[in-house]
Chain A
Amino acid sequence: MNSRGTIFPIVDLILAISLLMLGVMVIFTIKPLLMENKLIKQVDEELILAYNVMANVIDDRKFLGCITRYIMYNYKQALTDAYDMLRDRLPNRLLKMILLTSNGQILGEVGYVHMPFVQIRYVFMIYEGGVWHKYVLLIRISPEK
């Protein structure tokens, strides 16, 4: 009887401690996961908005035309015009446009964003001097603070 009396509380204690540890582990896992989930939700919404706006603006020949004009003639106003076209479609957002060559060299940039931001891209192929050249337009979007 004595041995029974001492074994049960020890088993109970071990069980309770392991459950407590498990509980703590679960809570420590769940907290970052919930935060990640919240962040992913926000990023998703921002990215989907950015993609939708991009898809709409591509339909407008003027936007692509402005970027091409900037690439081919280095006509600065054209990049600003393209930026304004995007900005009109993205109220309450900060926006930055960066135009890169295929080597990653910056051709031009306009606007500014806060951290954190989401980034989408559009790849241009332009025929110049008998060769196709690649240019990448990066669009960064962040909520207005």
Chain B
Amino acid sequence: MKEVYGINMYCLSGFHQRSKGALSTYASLLLLLSIIMSLVSYIKVLEEENELRAMALRAVEVNMALLNINEELKNMAFVTISNSLKELLMNSDNVDNVTVVSKILKEQLKYEILKVANECIDRVADDYGVKVYIKEVNVKTIVSGELIIEVNITMKVKDNVLGISKMESLSVEYNTGVSLKKITAECRYTLKQIEHLLADSNHTICKDITEFVKQLNRNITSVVYNKDSINVEKDIEIVLVNERSGLFKEYVIRVHLVKLIVKIGINEYDQITRSFNNRYIDLAVYVNKNYDLVALVIRKNVL
């Protein structure tokens, strides 16, 4: 064995070889470790990508839910407006006062829409895993020309999966096709025409009271303005007030105008086709006015 300065050279060369081998082993292990670490980070990237993808998909799903909620809310609002409008117009005794009608409609719709929205919207939202809170319902009625109803619904939509909340607002406009001002103007005009006719018929001298009343009836019907769209409901009462020795009889004809029935076209919402149809309904404008006419029936041979 060779010895240099007392050191065993064989041992030294063996040590060198071993350290070289160890180094290359550690280098390979380190390389393997780095490969594994990069794979681990790749896994993390993949997981994050999957999470992001899931979130993006959920966002699309929530958008679909919003579309569904908006569409159904719109449908519910239209059905409610259509029903309330018909009910109000058919049962109203004060259509003459446009401001009052639009105010009643506004209040009624605000309450009805809020009730329907609260009752139904959760049933739509539940299926999508979202929660909807109706914050505000605003109803505006515009009565210039045709009656237009504007509804604004503000709601908070909370996604139960991602826990994200979002404010949403929905705006719908319903053109009723009903011109309340035109209806009241037509009714007033008709009433005035009837009043003129009755004034002209007062203190009439005639031969037969039954014939006179029949004629009066015919005249009222013919005077009714635009008789295709307006009809009059009335009571006529004949009261004998005076009879003098068979020469003449004095009658008071009491004309009681009950109501004017106006045929109006309204845009009715049809939930089957989800569209508007123009439909005619009979609208009663209550008049409740009495007119007393005096008729003098002269005996035939005296006349």
Q: Which residues of A contact B (CB under 8 A)?
A: 5, 8, 12, 15-16, 19, 22-23, 26-27, 29-30, 33-34, 36-37, 40-41, 44, 47-48, 51, 54-55, 58, 61, 64-65, 68-69, 72, 102, 120-127, 132, 134, 136
- Whether A123 touches B43, Cβ cut-off 8 Å, given contacts A12-B25, A65-B273, A72-B272, is no
Distance of A124 Cα from B274 Cα, bound (Å): 12
Name B107-127 residues within 8 Å CB distance of A.
116, 119-120, 123-124, 127
- Whether A69 touches B272, Cβ cut-off 8 Å, given contacts A51-B61, A102-B123, is yes
User: Of B18, B32, B64, which contacts A120 at CB under 8 A?
Assistant: B64
CB contacts (< 8 Å) of A127 on chain B: these are 76, 79, 271
Among the 9-residue stretches B44-52, B190-198, B230-238, B257-265, the one with 4 or more Cβ atoms under 8 Å from chain A is B44-52
Number of interface residues of B (CB under 8 A): 43
Evaluate contact between A125 and B64: CB separation under 8 angstroms. no
CB contacts (< 8 Å) of A47 on chain B: these are 57, 60-61
In the assembled complex, the CB of B93 is this many whole angstroms from the nearest CB of chain A, namely 24
The list of the 9 closest CB pairs from A to B, nearest first, reads: A123-B124, A65-B273, A26-B39, A61-B274, A134-B123, A125-B72, A51-B64, A132-B120, A68-B272
In the assembled complex, the CB of A55 is this many whole angstroms from the nearest CB of chain B, namely 6
Evaluate contact between A27 and B39: CB separation under 8 angstroms. yes
In the assembled complex, the CB of B17 is this many whole angstroms from the nearest CB of chain A, namely 12
User: Of A36, A51, A64, A121, which contacts B127 at CB under 8 A?
Assistant: A121
In the assembled complex, the CB of A19 is this many whole angstroms from the nearest CB of chain B, namely 5
CB contacts (< 8 Å) of A69 on chain B: these are 272
In the assembled complex, the CB of B130 is this many whole angstroms from the nearest CB of chain A, namely 11
**Count: A-B pairs, CB below 8 Å:** 103
Evaluate contact between B36 and A37: CB separation under 8 angstroms. no
Give the secondary structure class of B's interface. helix
In the assembled complex, the CB of A134 is this many whole angstroms from the nearest CB of chain B, namely 5
* Nearest neighbor of B32 in chain A, beta-carbon distance: A19
User: Is B136's beta carbon under 8 Å from chain A?
Assistant: no
Evaluate contact between A125 and B29: CB separation under 8 angstroms. no
In the assembled complex, the CB of B27 is this many whole angstroms from the nearest CB of chain A, namely 12
Q: 5 pairs across A/B with beta carbons < 8 Å?
A: A12-B29, A65-B274, A68-B272, A125-B124, A134-B124
* Nearest neighbor of B42 in chain A, beta-carbon distance: A30
User: Is B142's beta carbon under 8 Å from chain A?
Assistant: no
In the assembled complex, the CB of B302 is this many whole angstroms from the nearest CB of chain A, namely 66
In the assembled complex, the CB of B19 is this many whole angstroms from the nearest CB of chain A, namely 10
User: Is B22's beta carbon under 8 Å from chain A?
Assistant: yes
User: Of B42, B67, B274, which contacts A68 at CB under 8 A?
Assistant: B274
In the assembled complex, the CB of B251 is this many whole angstroms from the nearest CB of chain A, namely 51
User: Is B275's beta carbon under 8 Å from chain A?
Assistant: yes
User: Of A30, A37, A120, A125, which contacts B120 at CB under 8 A?
Assistant: A125
* Nearest neighbor of A78 in chain B, beta-carbon distance: B272
CB contacts (< 8 Å) of A44 on chain B: these are 53, 56-57
CB contacts (< 8 Å) of B243 on chain A: these are none
- Whether A132 touches B116, Cβ cut-off 8 Å, given contacts A34-B46, A69-B272, is yes
